[in-house]
Structure 1
Amino acid sequence: MIEAVVFDFDGLIRDTETYEFYSFQEILREYDVELPLELYCKRIGGHAQAFDPYNYLQECTGLSLIREELRILRRQKYDVMIKNEKTLPGVLNYFETARRLGLKIGLASSAPYDWVMPNLEELELVHYFDCIRTNGDVSNVKPDPELYLNVLEYFGVSPRNAIAFEDSPNGAQAARSADMHVVIVPNELTKDLHFADYSLRMNSMLDMGLQQLINVLNLKINS
Structure 2
Amino acid sequence: MVVAHWPPPGFSVCASRRGRQRDGQFMIRALIFDFDGLMLDTEGPLIESYAAVHAMHGVPFDLPRFMKGVGHAEYAFDPWHGFSPHADRVQLEVERRAKRDEGLARQQVLPGVVAMLDAARERGLQVGIASNSQHSWVEPHLQRLGLHDRFAFFACREDAVSPKPEPDLYRLVLNRFGLRGPEAIAFEDSETGVRAAKRANLWTVAIPTKHTAHHDLAPADLRVNSMADVTLEALIARFGT
Q: TM-score under structure 1 normalisation?
A: 0.89
**Structure 1 residues 66 and 138: alpha-carbon distance in aligned structure 2, compared to 1, 3 A threshold:** same
Equivalent residue number for residue 135 of structure 1: 157
- Identify which of 129, 138, 146 aligns with 1:124: 146
Equivalent residue number for residue 35 of structure 1: 62
Equivalent residue number for residue 22 of structure 2: none
| Residues 169 and 193, structure 1, Cα contact 8 Å, conserved in 2 | yes
- State the Cα distance separating 1:187 from its structure 2 match: 1.2
What code does the residue aligned with 1:13 have? Answer: M
| Residues 194 and 206, structure 2, Cα contact 8 Å, conserved in 1 | yes
- Identify which of 157, 174, 184 aligns with 1:162: 184
Equivalent residue number for residue 51 of structure 1: 76
CA distance, structure 1, for counterparts of residue 199 and residue 162 of structure 2 = 13
Deviations 1:125-167 (A, max 9, x none): 1111011111111111111110000000110100011111000
Equivalent residue number for residue 17 of structure 2: none
- Number of matched residues? 214
- Identify which of 13, 17, 21 aligns with 2:47: 21
**1:154-193 equivalent positions in 2, closer than 5 A:** 154-193=176-215
**Greater fraction of residues in helix:** 1
| Residues 24 and 74, structure 1, Cα contact 8 Å, conserved in 2 | yes
- Identify which of 7, 28, 41 aligns with 1:2: 28
Give structure 1 stretches of 5+ with no counterpart. Answer: none
- State the Cα distance separating 1:61 from its structure 2 match: 3.7
* RMSD of equivalent CA atoms: 1.7
What code does the residue aligned with 1:86 have? Answer: Q
Equivalent residue number for residue 3 of structure 2: none
Which of the two has higher C-alpha Rg? 2
CA distance, structure 2, for counterparts of residue 21 and residue 205 of structure 1 = 23
Establish whether residue 77 from structure 1 lines up as the match of residue 85 from structure 2: no
Deviations 1:146-202 (A, max 9, x none): 000000011010001111100011111111111111101111211232224110011
Identity %: 34
- State the Cα distance separating 1:69 from its structure 2 match: 1.0
Q: TM-score under structure 2 normalisation?
A: 0.83
More displaced 10-residue stretch of structure 1: 23-32 or 128-137: 23-32
Equivalent residue number for residue 213 of structure 1: 235
